[in-house]
Structure 1
């Protein structure tokens, strides 16, 4: 019996058909690929960016449908606008260099350095010296009155002085200097020496913390707008005199002064007429101020008359300002055009600025501005003429004084200011007069009642207030605020910024480089062909698998049987 099957023949036929399908390339579909190179490349990069970026929104926009896409576009745009507004506001604030002030109350447990105290006698000149000076009869009353006006403020002098009287006084000065060539009115002349009272004549008793000391050892003469004054500087004194360690009047400074009212001109007998310079009262004016400062320019003046006891409780304010390099406006250096040995301060700079202004126009400077005595001192008549010719202008009957603004004089970076809270008592008790008389039997009770006065200066508490300028923000704070806003509005970080930068650079590269566009276009074509081939191969593999299943289940086998015949 012979059996013949067709299974192998059908299997060979299916293999040939599969090979034909795999080898066939869909050329017509490839030709139908869009030729829009740039748009396709940008779309490809955008799709990649939206699927990989850490920024909130792009993925929802790219994959959304109609209404959803419009909604997320609107949300991202609104968030972007708000983010730009916030970042612009923060950068604008930072570029404006904002500063704030911090106020601190500092307690000094080891005591506080005692300030300088400058004392000035209101009595402008000693009557006994003028009598001695006028022994020759050529020192007239007009000359004395004229010399006292050299200490007055410039505008006060110009507003109150009489031109004719100033001219007479100036002529009297010239005549006197012809006979006395060494006589001058500047700080190196007579106003600094014998015209005024010396320290021992006015400072009778000094004590600090209840312990007496010779204050004249620590007094320095100083010429002010009140004439010759004395400044108490205890920085070089013994340690117990340099600091006040306990608050209150008993731990501070006490000075008993003698006004010497008998040395005033009263116009009686052969005396000259009373002189009015800058003071309306008798006694002393004192200033509490920091070292290396001009007392009458930086401090509050406190007046006390004979027979009076004054208590000055002082408080200290310290100012620490920012320099121009750190967003501030202070300075510790003199402007380049200034040359002086004085320590820098805005008040000193302003005074020398005006002194230079007068000197450039008139060849001299008024005393009140010539604080370092580096220029010739103007006489009252010279000051009057200089103002009249170079500084004053008249418009519609109104006088205008054109003084320099001195904008180069910035405020100093570190300064200390003392404020005094004053209380007064009048008269000396009998016990006080008796105690003073025991100190010096030459002091009569009548003289002490008429001339003596007491000044008490002390710290009200062992603390001071510090005002310090600081930068209102810093670069670190600005970057932190910007980062917080980026995260709140768009979920962005520094990594996101890098991603956006790379995406924009790729888009720009595509827009401006044809070579890049061609490369991406060809790459896309190759990838699409590869995907199509993989798809067709997958279909072919599926077809072959199906054919194998059909043959195995429904195949027909033919069997032929051969039998041997019987003869």
Structure 2
């Protein structure tokens, strides 16, 4: 038997495990071509890939590799390709559904203590008759002129547009990309008598100093005879004065600390208001009453757009709150606008944003402040030039371009908004006896009001309180003069409406997984096999580069 030491040396070496560098060195010594070793590496990579293909969890690949006949391999290859086509198509449908950002709306009823909303009211008469003589001649004209005469003043004006310097704003429209050729600007001047009157009154009030408006209009100290909230007595200090360009003085309830814990009229806001109808200027003030708007606390009260008319008598307004919660992009288009109060002093609302934007656009294009908006323009600009008669068409054109989207205003819906539905009921109030025994004494509690009673009726407060033989004519000036208003929550339940993703990322991934399993039988763990293939290919490439 041959001994170990008698065997050839190269035989011993061939049975010893060596690294790639040793193999290459011995190949050179033994005069073995390097190409043969490269072929051996290729064979090794192929064997690794075949092993992975045979053990992969992806359906069809193992059948292609293991097939012994060409037509079988071809059949499985076609089936795999068809499955991949279906898989890609299904993925595209899933992605399209996800990218459209569909949303659904959910509604439920919740219960809790209610924050009281903002309540703003204005007397329908902007200027007291006793201060009319202090107004400008134009203001007196439009407060006193009849509607019949207004129709005469509202006839179309014959103006040469091309030669008039008043229509230079058309050039500013051109700078914003508008083709103004053929525009009939004069057709935008209002011809309706009532609308024309309102525009001129708003223009005059807009040019008045705020302190003057407060002095010549109806003050809350004169109007508010009685006030209670949650069955507790309140006074005029609970209200903040604001100026409206159509109604002059308006007053907003301060609701910072006001909450309702019990539903019903006794636990809401109750007021008795003296409309001071004897101070009304006719015919501009064609009816008695007040304008009332219910709005979110801290938001700007749009009295003209959202307000309701409340006539003399007793009016009850039952409220129900709807809380709306919207989605941010990509499924929604709302924004929180947390900096709005710091910038403008009011809570964000879409209408406030649109009107402030309209003020800015009108100032840029027309060079003046529009009077066709309700919001106080001083919130956003210090310009005091109000749009005059021939500027009104420009302001209206700006508004129409804004509504159409030709002049962009980046105003989105708020992400959280409260809407109040109202149930309004009213009846005649007060009866004459109640007026004499209850309302007149309220007026007479204040010395200045007591003097007004004597001036208006010719009778003193003592006459009303002590005499039983006063004629009916004594109280006639107070007919249709008082409003009793009750604003309250009908229920502490409120409706919560919330937008939700109809197709969220979890459903998106689940559908992708379902499609992947359906067409190719893969799972998340199949990704490990893909990584393994990539690693093997990289190792092969590195070896090839090293050998070169």
Alpha-carbon deviation of 1:284? 0.8
Partner of 1:60: 63
Find the aligned partners of 2:293 and 2:395 in 1 and give their Cα distance.
34
Partner of 2:207: 185
Partner of 2:96: 92
Find the aligned partners of 1:219 and 1:292 in 2 and give their Cα distance.
13
CA 184–357 in structure 1, closer or farther in 2 if over 3 Å, else same? closer
Which of 339, 345, 354 is 1:350 aligned to? 354
Alpha-carbon deviation of 1:253? 1.9
Alignment of structure 1 residues 210-289 onto 2, 5 Å = 211-224=231-244, 225-236=246-257, 242-266=258-282, 274-275=283-284, 281-289=287-295
Q: Identify which range, 53-62 or 90-99, moves more after superposition.
A: 90-99
Partner of 1:196: 217
Asked if 1:303 corresponds to 2:309, the answer is yes
CA contact (8 A) 1:123 1:264 kept: yes
Q: Identify which range, 288-297 or 365-374, moves more after superposition.
A: 365-374
CA 463–148 in structure 1, closer or farther in 2 if over 3 Å, else same? farther
CA 232–260 in structure 1, closer or farther in 2 if over 3 Å, else same? same
Asked if 1:503 corresponds to 2:507, the answer is no
Find the aligned partners of 2:79 and 2:206 in 1 and give their Cα distance.
85
Which of 79, 83, 86 is 2:87 aligned to? 83
Partner of 2:515: 485
Q: Which has the larger radius of gyration?
A: 1
Find the aligned partners of 1:318 and 1:117 in 2 and give their Cα distance.
18
CA contact (8 A) 1:359 1:375 kept: no
Find the aligned partners of 1:405 and 1:300 in 2 and give their Cα distance.
24
2:410 aligned counterpart, secondary structure? coil
Q: Deviations over 1:264-320 (max 9, x none)?
A: 234xxxxxxx226xxx632111111112212116973221212x3222111112223
Provide the TM-score with structure 1 as the length reference: 0.64
Find the aligned partners of 1:466 and 1:43 in 2 and give their Cα distance.
63
The higher-RCO structure (CA 8 Å, 6+ apart) is 1
1:487 aligned counterpart, secondary structure? helix
Number of equivalent positions: 434
Alignment of structure 1 residues 316-355 onto 2, 5 Å = 316-324=321-329, 327-333=331-337, 340-355=344-359
CA 402–81 in structure 1, closer or farther in 2 if over 3 Å, else same? closer
1:358 aligned counterpart, secondary structure? helix
Provide the TM-score with structure 2 as the length reference: 0.66
CA 74–388 in structure 1, closer or farther in 2 if over 3 Å, else same? same
Partner of 1:469: 499
CA contact (8 A) 1:350 1:406 kept: no
Alpha-carbon deviation of 1:218? 0.6
Residue segments in structure 2 that go unaligned for 5+ positions in a row: 2-35, 146-185, 445-460, 465-473
Find the aligned partners of 1:376 and 1:330 in 2 and give their Cα distance.
31
Partner of 2:190: 159
2:518 aligned counterpart, secondary structure? helix
Partner of 1:50: 53
CA contact (8 A) 1:206 1:254 kept: yes
Alpha-carbon deviation of 1:329? 2.2
Q: Deviations over 1:206-232 (max 9, x none)?
A: 2234x3523312111111232211112
Which of 364, 368, 372 is 2:368 aligned to? 364
CA contact (8 A) 2:54 2:66 kept: no
CA contact (8 A) 2:300 2:347 kept: no
Partner of 1:123: 125
CA contact (8 A) 1:340 1:372 kept: no
Find the aligned partners of 1:216 and 1:439 in 2 and give their Cα distance.
15
Q: Identify which range, 356-365 or 434-443, moves more after superposition.
A: 434-443
Alpha-carbon deviation of 1:392? 4.4
Find the aligned partners of 1:414 and 1:390 in 2 and give their Cα distance.
32
Alpha-carbon deviation of 1:453? 1.9
